[in-house]
Amino acid sequence: MLDIKFVRENPEAVKENIRKKYQDAKLPMVDEVIELDEKRRNAQKEADDLRSRRNKISKEIGGLMAQGKKEEAEEKKAEVAAFSKRLAELEQEQPELEKKMNDIMMVIPQMIDPSVPIGKDDSENVEIERFGEPVVPDFEIPYHTEIMERFSGIDLDAARQVAGNGFYYLTGDIARLHSAVLSYARDFMIDRGFTYCVPPFMIHGNVVAGVMSFPEMDAMMYKIEGEDLYLIGTSEHSMIGRYIDQIVPETSLPLTLTSYSPCFRKEKGAHGIEERGVYRIHQFEKQEMIVICKPEDSPYWYDQLWKNTVDFFRTLDVPVRTLECCSGDLADLKVKSCDVEAWSPRQKKYFEVGSCSNLGDAQARRLHIRVKGAEGNYLAHTLNNTVVAPPRMLIAFLENNLRADGSVAIPKALQPYMGGKTELK
């Protein structure tokens, strides 16, 4: 969400940003919101002037009454009554104008970073760097659910009976592997100086509106019927919401947090074969990292966050690459974003396992998260990134650590979390 003063002073820059995001239908909104802002400010000025004049005349009435000038006092009273009537009209008009303005401002996209490549959609994202050598073994890699079934580790049929498509049962060593990865991710981030948190798994509607755009909300969030509560799609929502309406001391920044949560997503739309199994599901668990910092520090933390995910996957012998998200692939609140993708030996290509985002002051402006600095208060910057999200991560893990005899190697870093096991048979 942009500052209305910035929009008012830089309308062409805001329009050009909309064009870069290929959202031309939103171009008229810029002029519309500027016009509404002018009406709102004029109404505010008129109301302030009327209050001042009313207060001044009210004092004059007392003087006139004391002097016995009743007729003049009555004329002044009529004037005050007229002011009060107009004030009532303005006081009704102002909230209506503010609501219309806010509704538009909520859908005008955030200004993207100058370094973001221009493109229409994710097909135009740009590869930045590869980490680890992508290997295709000389034996066939089965589909991930087949690998899990060999270990009696998954039951999709029972899950469909109980909850429908998009759910799963994990059992035995596969379930243990799932939990081990999350525990390792927790400790990995703690060792990097992040504070571990377990947040609420439901949030109020005003928090949802503060942390994400309306299209994202419609595509992702499950609402609890009859209550102002939504199941979180990622712990970032709850973690950023923790600071709603707060003024954070500058001396406490940066806040570097890592949080565990289950995640619930509608995942609207039909998906191909590669998104079956446990690739795209309605319920999963995730370890996340969140940073709240000073504006000038957000580029540094952006780089640190995506590097954490790369380092984590490399300790598990999974090759990865980073992709810079182009302008058309950025959600409206994002300033800059990159995806971390893991290598799939079976598909012979990379697939997304994490997304790192710098949201600038967008979430802070919506949720009124301010920083108390030496020269006054200002809006914080917020960032987030996935550490790991099994069971999707298990796809990459199993494919890259599968051996020709059907066993799965357990990398050294994960062995303590698997009871010392060096392999799964």
The CATH architecture that domain 4-105 belongs to is Orthogonal Bundle (1.10)
Of 50-59, 304-313, 332-341, the poorest mean pLDDT is in 50-59
Query: Which ranges of 10-26 does DSSP label H, i.e. alpha helix?
Result: 11-20
Other C-beta atoms lying within 10 Å of the C-beta of residue 217: 17
C-alpha–C-alpha distance, residues 255 and 31, integer Å? 37
Backbone angles phi, psi at 294, to 5 degrees: -70, 150
pLDDT digits (tens, 9 = 90+) for 266-303: 976 545 545 578 988 999 999 999 999 999 999 999 99
Instruction: CATH number for 122-424: choose from 3.30.930.10, 3.40.190.290, 3.30.420.590, 2.60.40.740.
Output: 3.30.930.10
C-alpha–C-alpha distance, residues 328 and 310, integer Å? 24
Helices H / strands E in the chain, number of each: 13, 18
The predicted model scores a pTM of 0.90
Spacing of C-alpha 369 from chain mean position: 15
Q: Is the pLDDT of residue 372 over 60?
A: yes
pLDDT digits (tens, 9 = 90+) for 114-142: 999 999 999 999 999 999 999 999 999 99
C-alpha–C-alpha distance, residues 222 and 282, integer Å? 10
Q: Stretch 401-410: mean pLDDT, rounded?
A: 97
Q: Is the pLDDT of residue 416 over 60?
A: yes
Half-sphere exposure at residue 136, Cβ-oriented, CA atoms within 13 angstroms: 6
| CATH 3.30.930.10 residue ranges for the chain | 122-424
**Which tokens sit at 302?**
């952006």
Q: Stretch 47-70: mean pLDDT, rounded?
A: 77
Handedness of CA 321, 324, 328, 332 (dihedral sign): positive
| CATH 1.10.287.40 residue ranges for the chain | 4-105
